[in-house]
């Protein structure tokens, strides 16, 4: 270890006395090797393992609605859980790096399985105004992590969110669907034409956002699969 590395390690230890690094999920202290989430919380994440299963719970939700080839989510979402905290952290706490790391973990699980046939990864876009406020698109960062694990490219500027939708939280399923319908437009069909596209988002609730994206991609003659970090059950 160089003198500088030793010095840095001392400084890190010293700083952690005053600014302990806390797990975003449980609030407990973390060791130097841990980032954002402690090992205990990482190990207890409710993984769905649905990528291994044909006609899984996520795929079934799109049946008869839009044409989706494969679909899966990394984790099960429930309110007041570690997963909600993770999603909150990547969305509202200016933590794009955590989104990349979650994508990387997810992508590592997807490797070697059914999702290997994906050609290109497309994140669900944010509206420009929201992007300015947040400074980054969390779905794009998740896509970057998945892309790194799978060794596939990410294509931006395929879709654009042309309208900022109102908040979805107090709406019923049909209203949510009506709310997002037609808000995405296909910007550059050539980037995805005839390809197997993996559409990536942070969380799957009603599926309305994903459906609107799939509809926008339809004219590009692409086959579309879906991967989200979390899904409601
Ligand atoms: Zn923890």
Condensed to tens digits (0 to 9), the pLDDT of residues 103-123 reads 999 999 999 999 999 999 999
Q: Could you tell me the two tokens for 90? A: 């990547």
| Shared domain check, 158 and 212 | yes
Mean pLDDT of 169-186: 69
Give residue 164's pLDDT.
64
Query: Residue 16: is its pLDDT beyond 70?
Result: no
| Shared domain check, 56 and 11 | no
| Shared domain check, 58 and 34 | no
Give how many domains the chain has, as a whole number: 2
| Shared domain check, 120 and 225 | yes
pLDDT band with cut points at 50, 70 and 90 for residue 175: low
Cα 30 to ligand 1 centre (Å): 8
**Tokens 């989200």, residue?**
228
Cα 41 to ligand 1 centre (Å): 4
| Shared domain check, 183 and 80 | yes
Cα 76 to ligand 1 centre (Å): 17
Residue 117's CATH number: 3.40.50.2020
Contact 74, 86 (CB under 8 A): no
Cα 29 to ligand 1 centre (Å): 8
Cα 131 to ligand 1 centre (Å): 29
The boundaries of the domain holding residue 9 are 1-44
Cα 73 to ligand 1 centre (Å): 21
| Shared domain check, 140 and 37 | no
| Shared domain check, 208 and 146 | yes
Task: Measure the CA–CA gap between 186 and 193, rounded to whole angstroms.
Answer: 11
pTM above 0.85, yes or no: yes
Cα 128 to ligand 1 centre (Å): 33
| Shared domain check, 177 and 154 | yes
* Residue pLDDT, tens place only, 40-76: 999 999 999 999 999 999 999 999 999 999 999 999 9
pLDDT > 90 in the chain, percent: 73
Beta bridge partners of 72: 227
Question: Which is more confidently placed, 196 or 218?
Answer: 196
| Shared domain check, 60 and 38 | no
Cα 145 to ligand 1 centre (Å): 21
| Shared domain check, 78 and 15 | no
């Amino acid at each position: 270890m160089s003198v500088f590395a030793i010095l840095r390690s001392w400084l890190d230890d010293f700083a952690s006395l005053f600014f302990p690094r806390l797990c975003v999920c449980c609030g407990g202290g973390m060791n130097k090797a841990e980032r954002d989430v402690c090992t205990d919380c990482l190990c207890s994440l409710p993984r769905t393992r649905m990528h291994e299963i044909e006609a899984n719970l996520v795929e079934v939700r799109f049946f008869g609605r839009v044409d989706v080839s494969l679909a899966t989510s990394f984790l099960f979402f429930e309110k007041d859980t570690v997963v909600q905290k993770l999603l909150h952290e990547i969305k509202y706490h200016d933590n794009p790096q955590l989104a990349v790391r979650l994508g990387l973990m997810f992508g590592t699980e997807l490797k070697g399985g059914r999702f290997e046939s994906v050609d290109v990864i497309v994140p669900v876009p944010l509206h420009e105004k929201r992007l300015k406020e947040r400074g980054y698109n969390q779905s794009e960062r998740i896509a970057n992590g998945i892309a790194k694990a799978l060794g596939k490219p990410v294509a931006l500027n395929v879709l654009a969110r042309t309208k900022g939708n109102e908040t979805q939280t107090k709406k019923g399923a049909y209203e949510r669907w009506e709310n997002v319908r037609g808000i995405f437009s296909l910007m550059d069909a050539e980037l995805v034409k005839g390809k197997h596209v993996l559409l990536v988002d942070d969380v799957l609730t009603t599926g309305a956002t994903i459906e609107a994206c799939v509809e926008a991609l339809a004219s590009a003659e692409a086959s579309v699969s879906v991967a989200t970090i979390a899904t409601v059950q």
